[in-house]
Each structure stands twice: as C-alpha cells, then as structure tokens.
Structure 1
Amino acid sequence: MLSRIVCLLGIGFMTSSVAADSPSGELKDLFFGEALYYAGQGEYFDAIARLDAELGQHYGLDDPDLDSFYFHVNQAEFSVGDFELSYRMHLRAGRAVEAVLEGNVDEAIRNEAAYRLARIYFQKDQPLNALHALERIRGRVPDRIWDDLAFLRAQVYMATGRFAEAAEILEPLERADGYAGFAAYNRGIALLQDGEQAAGTRALDQAGQVRGTQRGTLAIRDKANLVLGSKLLDDEEPVAAKQFLERVRLQGPFSGRALLGSGWADASARRYERALVPWSILAKRNVTDESVQEALLAVPYAYGKLGVYGKAALGYGSALEAFGGEIDKLDRSIKSIREGKFLEALVREELKQDKNWMVKLRSLPEAPETYYLMQLMASHDFQASLKNYLDLEELRKRLVVWEKDLEAYEDLIAVRRAYYEPLLPDIDAQFRRLDSRMRLRMEQRDRLDERLQAMLISPRPEFLATAEERVISERISIIEKQLKHTRASEEMRHRIRRLKGIIHWRIHTEYDQRLTEAHKHLRELDGIVEELQSQYDSFVRTRQAATQSYQGYETAIRQQRTRVRNTLQPVQNLMARQGHMLETMAVNELERRRTRLEEFQIKARFAMADSYDRATKAQADKEAKALEEAARARASSEAEERLEEGGEAPEESPGTSGAK
C-alpha cells in the first residue's frame, strides 16, 4: 500500500498539468492521483470511474473549498475529457471540455480547453467544428501546448483545403522538438496540394533526410521518400524517383512498396537487369504481402523483356503455384472468420500484455486469417471498431465478475447475521444497565465535558499548544517582522520557515494525543463516569457495527444485480453487432485480396503461355539455325573434297541454304 501511495505521489509531482493547477505544484488529493495512475497504465475505464465519483462528491459538498480536491478541480475537468477521449467517449469528452470553456476561468485555461475541444472534433473527423473551436482561442496560450496547438491548426487547415496557410504554420515547426520530420512531411503534402510542386518536393526531400533514431522519425522519413519517389514515378521521371526510393530502409514498414517502385523505375528506363535486383529481393519475402505478390509477376516480366523466355515461363509457373496456395489459405481464413475464430483470437488476454500483440496474431496457428489482415488491422477505421469491441468485451467480463461478487457479498452477510443475531439480546440487556448508571454521574461532569466535546466537533489544535510552543511562536513572529526590514540570507529565512513548520506539524499531529490526555485528566476527576462513558461508546460502536454489517444490504444488492443484468444484455447485443462488423470488414478485405490474386492468376497464365510460345519459337529458331549451319558446313566439306580430287565444285542450289 505504501509503495502505491508513493507511486501516486510521484505521478502528481511529475505531471506538469497537476503542477499548473496546484499553486505549490504538489498533489494534494490522493484520489485524483489514483485516477492519474490508472490513466498512466492505460486503464481509462477505471480512471474515468474514479474521477467521476470524486467530482460528484466534490460538487455535492456544502463547502467544497475545504476539500483537498478543490486544488485540482480544473485539471480534473480537463482530465475527464482527456480520459473519455482516450476511451473514445467523444460526446461526453466534448461536453466536459465545453463546460470548462463556458465557465468563468482563466484565459490560459479557456484557451487550453478550446484546443482540447478542437482536438476532439478533429479526431471525430469534423474539421469544420475543430476550426470553429480554434477560432475561439484568444490571448495567452500555455507553453506546454504551443507546438501541439500549431500542429493541430495546420492539420485542420489541410483538412479544410487551406493548404497555403497550413504550410506557413508548419515551416517554423520543423525546428521544434518532436515535430521536425512530421512538420516537413505535412508541409510538403500541403504545398503539393496547393500546386507548389517545386517547394513541396523540397519539403518532402527535407523530410526524407531528417536525422533521428526513433521509430517514428525513421518511419516518417521512409514515408516521405516513398511518397516523393512514387510521385516522380507517376510523373514519368524514373531516374529521379529511384534515388528517393533507394533511401527507404530495407527493413522498414514501407520497404516492400519502395523495392517494387525502385524496380519499376528501372523498368521504365528499360534497364530490366537492374530492375531484377530489387524485385528479386522482394519476391523472396512473405507472399502474403501485396507488394511481394506483384513482384512475383514482375520478376518473370523482366526476364521476358530480356529474352529469357524459359526462365520467365518458370517464374510465372512459380507465381501461379504461390497464388493458388494463397487463394486456398484465404478461403480457409474466410471460413475461419465466419466460424468466429477471428474474434476469439482478438480477445486473447496473453496477447494484450504486449504492445506488439497485433503482430503476434500472425503466429497463431488456429487463426490463419490474422496473417493476411495486418494492413487492415493497422487502418484507423478497423482500429476504432476493434477498440470498441475490446472495450465491450472488457465491460462484459467486468459485469460477469460483478455479478459473482454480489453472490459473495450475500454469503458474507449471511455468515455475519448467523453470528451476531444470537448475541444481541444479551448485549442489549447489559447496555440498559450501563445506561442507568451513566445517568447518575453525567451531571457532575457536564460543564467540563461540554468544552471538550466542542473541541471534538470543531477541532482547534492551537488551543492545545503548550506554553513553550506559544512562546517560541511569538519569538518567531517577532524575528519575521524584523527580517522584513533587513537583508537576511535565504538560509536564515529557510530556517525560520522550517521552525514554523515544525511547530505547526507538532501542534497538528499531536492534537489527537493531547486531546486524549485531556480526556484522561477528565477521567481522573471522575473515573467512574469516564469508565462508563468508555463502555457506552464502545457498545454503541460495536452495536452499530454489528447490525450495519448485515442489515440493509438486501435492497441495494438486489438493485445492483438488476442493473448488472440489465446492462449485460445490451453489452452482449452490441458485442454481437460490433463483432459482425469486424468480421464483415475482415471478410471483405480477404475477398478483395482473393479477387486480386485471381486477377494475377489470369495474367500469369496468359503470360506463362506467351512465354512458353516464345521460348518454343526461340528454341525452334535456334534449332533451325543450327541445322542450316550444319548443312552449309556439310556442303562446304563436300566441295573441298571434290576440289582435292581435281573436280569442280558444283553450283550451290538456291534451296540448299534453307534446307532443314
């Protein structure tokens, strides 16, 4: 428990947003820190539940200013929106941020709320609403979101067709930490969309050479080079395209498309031998990749252009065999999806423990369909649907566990009832005797007890300060007044603050102990009354704890069980609909790939037949040429023999050279 509290405190001290909301920069409410802890673990459901409960309790207080949560209430409103957005609760997230935006808050807080609302709208694919939210930003903007706000504004401008303004915003971001490659890439796209071909090409070239070793930086660099190379290839500039395509890493996520494009760049320049190099490398990779499938046709195509028709025919034959095998696998995968195995693979608990769990799906032997769906599963639409399905599955499991927990509570309550009910009659009889004795003594100590009871209701720690503590506090106050008119060192001021803190700490932390000693003195004055009072209080607590431990829970448990069951059925219905949607998307993707492979099969068959014809014709021509050369050699040999015998060489018949 102590380690968890330390962890929560660490989160509070390290979170800049908490520091911005709290004047001292410290976490003053552990429940808020607990919500941040769960959010940091990606458990947004638990974070939202705890933060919602804390906010509800805070606003229900008569005097919320005295609550420790008061110091973080603004940040909590922001955090609710962030957590709900991360949990894809866009409607609630928007309402939470709107509440802050319309409230009487500081200008910086209002601008941050407008930024977050714009981000919500943009993630919901509502760029116009995001633009309206950004237009509400006026005045001071917190430094921590300055770059994020600029990048979001540029994205919104690009989504609304204002490419020139987006490019202008992105240019200074190229020098910002964490945005160098991303800003240059987006600026290049914006310039190209705005018709500035030269400037856009330069920006993409710059993004394609950005330095860095982080995965995101490497990926955006590869993507920039691939986009630029593909564009130049479409513009029929193969030589220029190839230099950008060759910058793409061979082991990166874009390497397949880059190798394929590099080969086509050489093929466009009729350099088929060079085209074979990247295509041959690509053809040896996993055949499920669409680029690899195209490379299986491109390699024999290049051999055909080089006149090696036999090898081209063999290549087309190998491609046909590979395509046929993949089509069979796709058929089995589609059948597996329709049997529900795909959804079973997606909800595996052991896979979710790894951030790369989606890649590990490819190694599941009982779920072959996941091997072909990596591109689909990486898409935004599929990921959003998948996350919704996983959240529903998690909620379903929680509801099942909660229903079982209610049964456990009922068993626990039954055990408590069986234990306490036989004991209560005797306890009540003893209490009545104790109460009669109490009434005889209470009048003798009412006045003194009234003062102490007042301190129990309204604690006043300073009233219990010792004489020595009061003298020291007065001396410290005098010293502080004197220091206001002198140039005291920071060390001295720190020592004074430390002394004040020690006195304050001692008075407040020892308050319970001092109050207990006061009660002890009261018991010394009237020991009998104090003993009876102690027994009375002990009985009241015990009696209440005994009865409250098993009474009054039946209705609450019944209501909670009804709520759980009423919620479980809609969750299961939604899961069925969401799962059907995922299966439909997966089947459509597999059928698209199967259709594509069938088209490749048709092309490969025709190309293989053509290659065999050409190879046969070439072989026939070669044999005919060999026979012609042999006939000429034989005729020449006969002529030489006749000359040696002294005769004349016969005239060559016109048809001799063409004889077979």
Structure 2
Amino acid sequence: MAATALSAAAAEPVRAQPSKPGPVQAPFWGDALFHVYQGKTFSALTTLMASQQFGRVAPHADEAEATRGGLLLAYGLHREAEAVFTALAERGTTAALRDKAWFHLAKIRWQRGLPAEADAALARVAGPLDAELETDRQLLAAQVRLALGDPAGAAARLQALAEDAEGTPYARYNLGVALLEGQRRADGRAWLDRLGQMPVTTRPPEERRALRDKANLTLGFDALRHGEPAPARQALERVRLNGPFANPALLAFGWAALEDKAPRQALVPWQELLQRNPSDPAVLEARLAVPHALVELKADAAAVQGYTEALAAYAAEAQALTDTITALQGGALVDTLIAGNPGADLGWGWTAEALPADLPHRAQLAPVLATHAWQSALKDQRDLRFFLQHLGRWQRDLLSFDTMLATREQRFAAMLPATRDTRLADTQARLAAEQRTLAGALAAADARALADERERALIERLDRAQRTLASLPDDDASRTLRDRVQRVAGALEWQLSVAVPERRWAARKALREIETELASSAERMATLQAAQRDEPQRFAGFAGRIAALRTRIATLLPQVAALQAEQQTELQAVAIRHLKDQQARLAEYTTQARFALARLQDPATLAQRGDASEAPDAPR
C-alpha cells in the first residue's frame, strides 16, 4: 500500500497574510489588511489591486505585492502568483518574504496535484523559514520526493525531523513510508511500529490516534504483501474499531487470518464489516470474502447463501451508482453540495467538509468527496458561480450609476447659471465698491474719509448747523451759537486726527482682505466658467466609462457562464469517472461471485468435495 500522510501543514489552506504585521503607514493598505485578516479573499484582492493601481500603498509596496501573490494563490492561480514572486525577487525584496512566497506557491502546486512544479518552487527557497514553516517545508519536500519516485531523497529530508523528540509525528510516519518504498524495510517498519504504539498525550488527540491507526494499517499491508500474516494481524489488531481506518483494517485482518490458515478467525472481522455502510469498498469486498472463508470451512450451503446475498448487494449498489451518475449529470447534486457547505469567502481555503444530511446518494458520493481532484474542481465551480453572481450584481449597479450621473447633470445644469450670474456678480460688485471707497480714503489722507458711521453722522449735522447759522443775522446770539458749533467741530476734528494712524492701518488691512476676496471671487468665477466648459466633457467621460464597463460585463457574462457550465461538466465527469471505477470493481466482484457460486453448484465440484448429496438447489 503506497500511503503518505498529508501533514497538518500541507493540508492547511494557504493564508495570504503578512508574516510580521507592523505599523500601517497607508490607510488604504490598512483597508486591504482588514479584509485579509477577515478571510475575505475576493474583497481583499480587489481592494488591494485598486489601491495599488492608484499608488495608495507606496510605503508597503513589496509587502502589498507579496500579499497579492498570496491572494492569487488562495484561488489556485499559481502561475500568476509565480509571476508576482519572480518580479519581487528580481527587484530585490527581502529574502524572508521571497522564501515564504515560494513555499506557499509550492504548497498550492502540491495540493493541485503538480509535484514536479511544487519541487521547482521549493528549490527557489534559499534559506530556512521560521521555525514552524521550516518544519512544514521539510514535510512538504519529503512528500514531493515520494511522489516523484525518490524515497531515498524523502528519507534524507525527514531523518532529522523524525529523530527530534519534540517534532511532529507526521515526519516519523512519512519517514517510515519512505524507508519502506526505498527497500529499507526493517528500518521503515521500526519507525512505523514505534508510531503505531505511540501514547496519545498531546492535543489534538483524535488526529494523533488517526495517525497511529494509519501507521498500524500501513504495517499490516506491508506484512501482507510480503507473506507475513502473523505480524500483519499483530499490527492490525491495534487499529481502533471506530476510527477512520477501521474498515480497511478489518478487511486486511481477515485476509491475514485466512492466509494464516485460520478461516474461522477471518470470519469475525468480515462479519463485523457486513454490519457497516453497504457502499463502503471494504464492506463490498467483505461480501465476497465471507463465503470464500465458508468454502474453506466446507460450509457450502452457507457459502452459497453468502454469494447469493453478495450478488444481490452488488446489484443494489450498482443500481445506486447508476442513479448517482444520473443525478450528477442533472447538476442538482452539485447545487445541493455547494449550498450545504457555505463559506465566508472564496478561494483555495474553502473545502466541502461534509455532505448535507439530506443529500441524495450520500453513501456513493462520500468516497468521491475525499479525492483531491473532486475538491479542486468543486472549489473552481464555486468560484465561477460567485463570479457570475458578482458580474450580475455589477450589471445591475450600472443602472444606478446611470441614474446618479443623470441626476448630477441635471443639478449642474440648473445651478450653474444662477450661481455664476447672481451670487458671484453681486459679491464682486459689493467688494469692488468697498475697495474703491477705502482706496480713495487712503489716497486723500483725509481724516474725515476714515470716520466711522457715527462720526460721519455728526459731521453731517455740524455742516447743516453751520449752513443754518451762516444765514442768520450777525447778532450776539448768532455769534454765541457759531462759537459753540465751532468748538464742537474742532473737538470732532481733533478726535478724527488722533484716530487717523489706527484707522489707516485698519483700512489697509481691510483693503488687503477685500483684494484677497476679489481674487478668490475671480478664481471661483474662473472655476465656474471652467466647470461650465469642462463638466459636460467629464459627464461624457463618466458615461463612456459606464458604457465600456457595461460592454465588458456583457462580454464577460456569457464567457464566465460558458466556462462555469463547462467546468461543471468536468466536475461531474470527475465524480462519474470515480463512480464508474466503483462500477467496474463491482462488476469484477460480481463476476467472481458468480464464478464461485457456479463452482459450488457444479456437480463435479460437489462430488469432488464428497458432499454431492447435500448440494443446495441452484438459486432461481
């Protein structure tokens, strides 16, 4: 059995997060990071690319580009991500950032089923990564070497990790498998045997127990391949009855017992298997194995019954597989499966973890769901469906943009003439009059010109009084009044003269402010005139961009729809190929059962076995 453990690191989804978060010096970079840490891959990618387009992440340019590469990897776009990382390397980004990027690229390629490409990416990692990532890198490198047929190279990478008492047990398992495949069987079995008896004292316990079971299962299969039934049974007995590897262990234990000339002991695990999921491959094989053991025990009547029940079970399972294939071709099963496994966002991190409880043909689809090919195709299908929905929403949003643009154009057309002709013109006329008044007062150096409103009223009253007194007869009373008015006029002139320096300074300040306001008013007038001239062009530009986007979306929608339909067909084909393989295996089991049943019912065979008189009737 060629088996390798997917280490926790290799099975973990890629996270496109900066390795050492630091101070955010650009708000738009912080906005992108918010979406990244929320796990919203699509929002993070679009936000980041828009900010990069407008040069809004300049202080974090390399980190932002590396994060974009990671986000592209989250969609499995390893070629596009490689272009990003290569460009970063060529322009001299930090070695740590570059090495981490190549490691994540290798991980995605491995998950995509591209071991050679993953090996090429790992070769670009120049130095050790951070402690945890370095362990993951060595595990991934070993898995890649095993996949490429180099067990010796895998063992060399794993030796130090496996010997570390505090290290991951996945390294010990993979080292054992690498040594077995590298023809160092004794060393490999020793590592697997220690792992198969490992006490589970650390968390997560279930994960460690499953790894222990898998090590024992691998030991059992290896012993069976080499004709060693006793060691096989010893290892297989340590596999838990309710663990994920229980069914193949029960099946293998039975074959080991049968090879050890103990058919009665073989029946015990096989009879247990018959009580389990009837669609499980181990259960289906056990249906053929049970009557085979009964034949060894010369219980021919029971064997005939067993083969008959096996044929009925195979026929029912074959029909169920046919029904599942028909349902897959209709597409409803894919819809139900995606709807039953919601996720926060898109990308490679999403996995269909469970089959919905109400999903038809759950038993037949469970083995399909576990394959990398199906999971990869399912991710792509989910992403394409999301893009279709997103394009449709954008298409509807463009209608809102049309309305917004039309409203703005109408408002602009209504407001511009009134603003330009009334408000700015009145303001300019008022400011110009004030400017002339102040400039004239300063130029005349006349104290009266700088008088305030109250003082100008007094001056006017005095002038009227003096004109009135000039028309009166020249008597004592008139002279007395003239003297009084003259004294008041003199006092007023003195007050005006005293206030001249301060008022000249205030007048100059006010004149400067008026000049500034006039300049500003002129600029606003020029802006309005430019707006009247340029805004129609801007509106036309916006309308053109909206039209271009509408055309682009209208072009993309059928393309994405066609790609989604094509990819769904391929997704269904992946499952159907797997199900047809099961059908072929069932057909082989059926042929074997019929042949064995025919031999049991053949008179010559019965005579040879000495119990022809007890031959059962042939099933009708």
TM-score, normalization by structure 2: 0.72
Report matched runs for 1:397-476 at 5 Å: 397-417=389-409, 421-437=413-429, 440=432
1:92-131, CA deviations, whole angstroms, 9 ceiling, x for partnerless residues? 1001111122222344344444544554555565555555
Q: Which residue is 1:100 aligned to? A: 88
In 1, the alpha carbon distance for the partners of 2:303 and 2:433 equals 113
How far did residue 156 of structure 1 move?
3.9
1:167 is aligned, of 149, 155, 165, to 155
Report matched runs for 1:581-596 at 5 Å: 581-596=570-585
Q: Which residue is 2:452 aligned to? A: none
In 1, the alpha carbon distance for the partners of 2:231 and 2:128 equals 46
Task: Pick closer, same or farther for the CA change 1:316–1:622 going to 2, 3 Å.
Answer: closer
2:371 matched to 1:379? yes
Q: Secondary structure at the match of 2:189?
A: helix
1:490-548, CA deviations, whole angstroms, 9 ceiling, x for partnerless residues? xxxxxxxxxxxxxxxxxxxxxxxxxxxxxxxx99996998799799989989x979x79
In 2, the alpha carbon distance for the partners of 1:378 and 1:535 equals 74
2:190 matched to 1:193? no
1:30-75, CA deviations, whole angstroms, 9 ceiling, x for partnerless residues? 54344344344543232222222222322xxxxxxxx6x3443332
Q: Which residue is 1:607 aligned to? A: 596
Q: Which residue is 2:341 aligned to? A: 351
Task: State whether residues 225 and 248 of structure 1, in contact with CA within 8 Å, keep that contact through their aligned partners in structure 2.
Answer: yes
Task: State whether residues 118 and 133 of structure 1, in contact with CA within 8 Å, keep that contact through their aligned partners in structure 2.
Answer: yes
Report matched runs for 1:134-153 at 5 Å: 134-138=122-126, 141-143=129-131, 145-153=133-141
How far did residue 276 of structure 1 move?
1.7
2:253 matched to 1:265? no
How far did residue 152 of structure 1 move?
3.3
How far did residue 241 of structure 1 move?
0.9
Q: Which residue is 2:210 aligned to? A: 219
Task: State whether residues 147 and 176 of structure 1, in contact with CA within 8 Å, keep that contact through their aligned partners in structure 2.
Answer: no
Q: Which has the larger radius of gyration?
A: 2
Q: Secondary structure at the match of 2:258?
A: helix
Q: Which residue is 1:35 aligned to? A: 32
In 2, the alpha carbon distance for the partners of 1:557 and 1:315 equals 71
Task: State whether residues 97 and 116 of structure 1, in contact with CA within 8 Å, keep that contact through their aligned partners in structure 2.
Answer: no
Task: State whether residues 174 and 181 of structure 1, in contact with CA within 8 Å, keep that contact through their aligned partners in structure 2.
Answer: yes
In 2, the alpha carbon distance for the partners of 1:312 and 1:524 equals 118
Task: Pick closer, same or farther for the CA change 1:133–1:430 going to 2, 3 Å.
Answer: same
1:230 is aligned, of 216, 221, 236, to 221
Task: Pick closer, same or farther for the CA change 1:201–1:33 going to 2, 3 Å.
Answer: farther
Q: Which residue is 1:644 aligned to? A: none
Larger mean Cα displacement after TM superposition, 547-556 or 76-85:
547-556
Q: Secondary structure at the match of 1:301?
A: helix
How far did residue 163 of structure 1 move?
3.1
1:551-608, CA deviations, whole angstroms, 9 ceiling, x for partnerless residues? 7432111110111111112212212221222222222222222232233223323434
In 2, the alpha carbon distance for the partners of 1:437 and 1:51 equals 51
Task: Pick closer, same or farther for the CA change 1:146–1:619 going to 2, 3 Å.
Answer: closer
Q: Secondary structure at the match of 1:352?
A: coil
Report matched runs for 1:102-141 at 5 Å: 102-119=90-107, 122=110, 127=115, 130-131=118-119, 133-138=121-126, 141=129
- What amino acid sits opposite 2:310 in the alignment? A
2:562 matched to 1:565? no
1:164-220, CA deviations, whole angstroms, 9 ceiling, x for partnerless residues? 343232123236699622111111122122221111111222333443453543433
1:384-443, CA deviations, whole angstroms, 9 ceiling, x for partnerless residues? 222222211111111111111112322344455556644443333333324524763998
Task: Pick closer, same or farther for the CA change 1:109–1:438 going to 2, 3 Å.
Answer: farther
1:208 is aligned, of 187, 196, 199, to 196
1:89 is aligned, of 69, 72, 77, to 77
2:303 matched to 1:312? yes
Q: Secondary structure at the match of 2:54?
A: helix
How far did residue 249 of structure 1 move?
2.8
2:54 matched to 1:57? yes
Task: State whether residues 325 and 576 of structure 2, in contact with CA within 8 Å, keep that contact through their aligned partners in structure 1.
Answer: yes
Larger mean Cα displacement after TM superposition, 324-333 or 397-406:
324-333
Task: State whether residues 155 and 179 of structure 2, in contact with CA within 8 Å, keep that contact through their aligned partners in structure 1.
Answer: yes
How far did residue 221 of structure 1 move?
2.7
Task: Pick closer, same or farther for the CA change 1:371–1:31 going to 2, 3 Å.
Answer: farther
1:298 is aligned, of 289, 300, 312, to 289
Task: Pick closer, same or farther for the CA change 1:615–1:362 going to 2, 3 Å.
Answer: farther
In 1, the alpha carbon distance for the partners of 2:66 and 2:289 equals 54
2:384 matched to 1:392? yes
- What amino acid sits opposite 1:342 in the alignment? L
Task: Pick closer, same or farther for the CA change 1:44–1:307 going to 2, 3 Å.
Answer: same
Task: Pick closer, same or farther for the CA change 1:197–1:190 going to 2, 3 Å.
Answer: same
- What amino acid sits opposite 1:282 in the alignment? L
Q: Structure 2 stretches of 5 or more lacking a match? A: 1-14, 345-349, 437-508, 616-620
Q: CA RMSD in A?
A: 4.0
Q: Secondary structure at the match of 2:316?
A: helix
Task: State whether residues 17 and 37 of structure 2, in contact with CA within 8 Å, keep that contact through their aligned partners in structure 1.
Answer: no
In 2, the alpha carbon distance for the partners of 1:592 and 1:129 equals 28
1:1-29, CA deviations, whole angstroms, 9 ceiling, x for partnerless residues? xxxxxxxxxxxxxx996463x6xx33444
In 1, the alpha carbon distance for the partners of 2:116 and 2:230 equals 41
In 1, the alpha carbon distance for the partners of 2:105 and 2:580 equals 39
Percent of matched pairs sharing the same residue: 31
Task: Pick closer, same or farther for the CA change 1:570–1:206 going to 2, 3 Å.
Answer: farther
- What amino acid sits opposite 1:327 in the alignment? A
In 1, the alpha carbon distance for the partners of 2:73 and 2:396 equals 30
- What amino acid sits opposite 2:372 in the alignment? H
- What amino acid sits opposite 1:250 in the alignment? L
Task: State whether residues 101 and 114 of structure 1, in contact with CA within 8 Å, keep that contact through their aligned partners in structure 2.
Answer: no
Task: State whether residues 157 and 163 of structure 1, in contact with CA within 8 Å, keep that contact through their aligned partners in structure 2.
Answer: yes
Report matched runs for 1:2-17 at 5 Å: none
Task: State whether residues 432 and 518 of structure 2, in contact with CA within 8 Å, keep that contact through their aligned partners in structure 1.
Answer: no
Task: Pick closer, same or farther for the CA change 1:168–1:56 going to 2, 3 Å.
Answer: same
Task: Pick closer, same or farther for the CA change 1:377–1:524 going to 2, 3 Å.
Answer: farther
In 2, the alpha carbon distance for the partners of 1:16 and 1:267 equals 52
2:568 matched to 1:579? yes
Task: Pick closer, same or farther for the CA change 1:382–1:124 going to 2, 3 Å.
Answer: closer
- What amino acid sits opposite 2:562 in the alignment? N
Task: State whether residues 97 and 117 of structure 1, in contact with CA within 8 Å, keep that contact through their aligned partners in structure 2.
Answer: no
1:354-406, CA deviations, whole angstroms, 9 ceiling, x for partnerless residues? 977453246323xx3x5413223322222222222221111111111111111
- What amino acid sits opposite 1:254 in the alignment? F
1:275-297, CA deviations, whole angstroms, 9 ceiling, x for partnerless residues? 12211121111111111111122
Task: Pick closer, same or farther for the CA change 1:568–1:177 going to 2, 3 Å.
Answer: farther
TM-score, normalization by structure 1: 0.68
- What amino acid sits opposite 2:268 in the alignment? V
Q: Which residue is 1:484 aligned to? A: none
In 1, the alpha carbon distance for the partners of 2:209 and 2:224 equals 22
1:132-156, CA deviations, whole angstroms, 9 ceiling, x for partnerless residues? 5545555665445332333333334
Report matched runs for 1:14-29 at 5 Å: 18=18, 20=20, 25-29=22-26
Q: Secondary structure at the match of 1:373?
A: helix
Task: State whether residues 217 and 236 of structure 2, in contact with CA within 8 Å, keep that contact through their aligned partners in structure 1.
Answer: yes
In 1, the alpha carbon distance for the partners of 2:559 and 2:354 equals 31
Task: Pick closer, same or farther for the CA change 1:233–1:335 going to 2, 3 Å.
Answer: same
Point out which structure has higher relative CO (alpha carbons under 8 A, 6+ apart).
2
- What amino acid sits opposite 1:392 in the alignment? L
